[in-house]
Amino acid sequence: MKMFLMNTYNRFPVTLVYGKGSWVYDINGKAYLDFTSGIAVNVLGHSHPELVKAIKDQAEKLIHCSNLYWNLPQMELAELLSKNTFGGKVFFANTGTEANEAAIKIARKYGKMKSEKKFKILSARNSFHGRTLGSLTATGQPKYQKPFEPLVPGFDYFEFNNIEDLRKKVSDEVCAIFLEPIQGESGIIPATKEFLEEARRLCDEYDILLVFDEVQCGMGRTGKLFAYQKYGVTPDILTVAKGLGGGVPIGSGRCKRKGKRAGAGRSRHHVRRKSARMQSRCHGDERADEGRFSGRSGQEGKVPSGKTFQNERKVQRGGRCSWYGIDDRDSIFRCGEQKCCNEVL
């Protein structure tokens, strides 16, 4: 039967049949202690009774409906994720690579709103962001990229944890910086706090979206729900997958309102959402303002254009000063000229 499967991985000569907790069992009943956990997927172990129950319960009710309709598990999980990170809205996908594709598209569209030239995306050498074409291009590893060239244009790479190199690559043409707070694929290599802080600072200075890919290091694997919470450096977009579903495929991108509302290729499976919701027994509420902008926040008022707004931000850059607000339709606008990005993707 193996002959019918494409040869995408070098597999071990073991055929697994079931698992319980940290153990998996092969076709001959031989037990193995599972140190792989599906590469950071089975964060509750195998066949966790609550996870199994959540999947079963939901499968008996509704496995699938399209995004033409609302459904409760989707909304509840989005709320959990938003309230336990930095607020903002959630886009659901099926995998980590799709979550990163969404982040790429949000960043490109955000950049385009500013300038036709603002489309460059920077990521770290030896990073891993997935295998679809955009995420593969962001993945700074030629060994994965070579067979699929030409890749997506507009990407460049910096050396991880090298502040000088990052500074050299940043310009007004950059719309996003992608980073894993802890690189996974290339060994477990944590970013230094100084490096993440400098990335944050540069993003603020150049109006760049900071994207943290926590597909592998997120979901409680560092002791906090997400690794960025340990560093105290908040991204604009957070991508999460793998452990979020505990084995059921799911991906999500959380985005601050700066570049909001992703819309294409959504995942619609409630079973995933339900199991992911179960996974998200989240730690404290970290919705507080991230301090990204100077000026007041979280207040209601009027911008100079006379438009009512909430959560306005004042951005000081290069001597210029602009007001950003979020109106009652959740649209982002800039002082005077409404810049609605309701259809980011």
- Catalytic sites, residue numbers: 128, 213, 242
How many CB atoms within 10 Å of residue 93? 23
Two tokens, residue 336: 């005077």
Smallest gap from Cβ 100 to ligand PLP, in A, equals 6
Question: x/- site string to ligand PLP, residues 153 to 192, per CB under 6 A?
Answer: ---------------------------x---xx-------
Residues 285-324 that bind ligand PLP (CB under 6 A): none
Looking at 85, 95, 123, 252, which residue binds ligand PLP (CB under 6 A)?
A: 95
State how far the Cα of 2 lies from the Cα of 25, in Å rounded to an integer. Answer: 19
Measured from the CB atom, the residue of 39 and 65 that comes closer to ligand PLP is 39
Q: Are 276 and 296 in contact (CB under 8 A)?
A: no
- Nearest-CA neighbor of 55 among 280, 270, 281? 270
Q: For residue 226, give Cα distances in angstroms to 38, 98, 243.
A: 19, 19, 11
Tell me: does residue 216 bind ligand PLP (CB under 6 A): yes
Q: Are 299 and 292 in contact (CB under 8 A)?
A: no
Q: Is 37 left (phi over 0), alpha (psi -120 to 50) or beta?
A: left
Tell me: does residue 255 bind ligand PLP (CB under 6 A): no
Q: For residue 13, give Cα distances in angstroms to 2, 9, 27, 311.
A: 11, 12, 11, 56
Measured from the CB atom, the residue of 54 and 102 that comes closer to ligand PLP is 102
What single-letter amino acid sits at 67? N
Residues 22-41 that bind ligand PLP (CB under 6 A): 39
State how far the Cα of 239 lies from the Cα of 103, in Å rounded to an integer. Answer: 8
Measured from the CB atom, the residue of 128 and 309 that comes closer to ligand PLP is 128
State how far the Cα of 201 lies from the Cα of 254, in Å rounded to an integer. Answer: 20
Tell me: does residue 222 bind ligand PLP (CB under 6 A): no
Tell me: does residue 97 bind ligand PLP (CB under 6 A): yes
Smallest gap from Cβ 251 to ligand PLP, in A, equals 6
Tell me: does residue 138 bind ligand PLP (CB under 6 A): no
Q: For residue 89, give Cα distances in angstroms to 77, 84, 186, 252, 344.
A: 11, 12, 30, 10, 12
Q: Which residue is closest to ligand PLP by CB?
A: 96
Residues 228-247 that bind ligand PLP (CB under 6 A): 241-242
State how beta strands 300-302 and 308-317 pair.
antiparallel
Please choose, out of 47-55, 94-102, 195-203, 204-212, the segment that lies near ligand PLP by the rule CB under 6 A.
Answer: 94-102
Smallest gap from Cβ 40 to ligand PLP, in A, equals 7
Residues 118-137 that bind ligand PLP (CB under 6 A): 128-130
- Interface residues with ligand PLP (CB under 6 A)? 39, 95-97, 100, 128-130, 180, 184-185, 213, 215-216, 241-242
